[in-house]
Amino acid sequence: MQYLVNGLIIGAVYAVIGVGFTLIFGIMQILNFAYGELFMIAAYLAYFGVTVFMLPLWLILILAMAVMFLIGFGIEKAVILPVRMKIPDWVVPVILVTLALQIILQNLALILEGGNFLGIPAYIMGSLRVGNFSVSYERLLMFGICVATLAGIWLLLRKTKLGLALQAVSQNRDAAILSGINTNTVYALCFGLSGLLISIPGVLMMPHLYAYPTVGQVPIMKAFAVTLFGGMGNVAGAIIGGFILGVAETLAAGYISALVKDGVAFAVMILILVFYPAGVGTLLTRRKLG
């Protein structure tokens, strides 16, 4: 029971990480290898928010979301758009650009902040005890914020005009242009949205991790696992995949050994690629975005 609860909580975080990653694939058919580095930037933002500026958590979170949206949007406009304009078949070149960006951002962090592991104390102390199991308030809050974020993204995709445009571009790019949708704006917004999504776990996970240049390796592996599990570009699949990965990891850590925990993500990836490469999301819905 305790494991299940912990698993669902971390699963909500993985779901948010996965959605931010799969969204870009769903709309642009590219992998963003610099996704983990956006997490890293958010982690540094949280660190400085707490230690230097001594801001409250809610303010750090809102500022990080805003800043990361702008960074995502800016990355698309500054380095990806020029490549897309030059090369008609831009999918592979753009993936390489994100790979370069990953290396550049990691080294930039190393130059600016050094390789130190920067940690912060818990945002909130104390835990909720019911019977013989307990959950820290901080994890409850993390769960609440992540679930609200997932609900928000679902509403955005299904109920707003922006969501309609995102879906249209993902399903038939030419037809979207002919309908008056500016694909360049959609792509930049998509990167911004992805940055906003990854900033949430980046800030909330900080007390459990450290900020250091390669911290992004952890979330990007989870993002890959969740995305593959749900089907590339499938948002609903990524949400389910996130929860399943969270529970599977916690159970494996609890009943087998904490050492196998990170291996679970890889095991999930291999199993899904062997037995159901389309991803479980396709069982739920043929529609990719929400």
**Residues found near other proteins in the complex (CB under 8 A):** 161, 164-165, 167-168, 171-172, 174-183, 286-288
Extract long-range pairs of 180-188: CB within 8 Å, 24+ residues apart.
Answer: 184/81, 184/84, 186/27, 187/27, 187/28, 187/76, 187/80, 187/81, 187/84, 188/73, 188/76, 188/77, 188/81
CB of 89 to other proteins, least distance (A): 11
CB of 288 to other proteins, least distance (A): 7
CB of 172 to other proteins, least distance (A): 5
In terms of CB distance, is 51 or 182 closer to other proteins? 182
In terms of CB distance, is 26 or 241 closer to other proteins? 26
In terms of CB distance, is 185 or 217 closer to other proteins? 185
In terms of CB distance, is 23 or 223 closer to other proteins? 23
CB of 186 to other proteins, least distance (A): 10
Contact between 267 and 255 (Cβ < 8 Å): no
CB of 87 to other proteins, least distance (A): 13
In terms of CB distance, is 89 or 275 closer to other proteins? 89
CB of 281 to other proteins, least distance (A): 12
CB of 287 to other proteins, least distance (A): 4
CB of 239 to other proteins, least distance (A): 17
In terms of CB distance, is 232 or 268 closer to other proteins? 232
User: DSSP characters for the chain?
Assistant: -HHHHHHHHHHHHHHHHHHHHHHHHHHHS---TTHHHHHHHHHHHHHHHHHTS---HHHHHHHHHHHHHHHHHHHIIIIIHHHHHH-SS-HHHHHHHHHHHHHHHHHHHHHHH-S--B----SS--EEEETTEEEEHHHHHHHHHHHHHHHHHHHHHHHSHHHHHHHHHHH-HHHHHHTT--HHHHHHHHHHHHHHHHHHHHHHTGGGS-B-TTTTHHHHHHHHHHHHHH-TT-HHHHHHHHHHHHHHHHHHHHHT-GGGHHHHHHHHHHHHHHH-TT-THHHH-S-S--
In terms of CB distance, is 222 or 288 closer to other proteins? 288
In terms of CB distance, is 139 or 288 closer to other proteins? 288
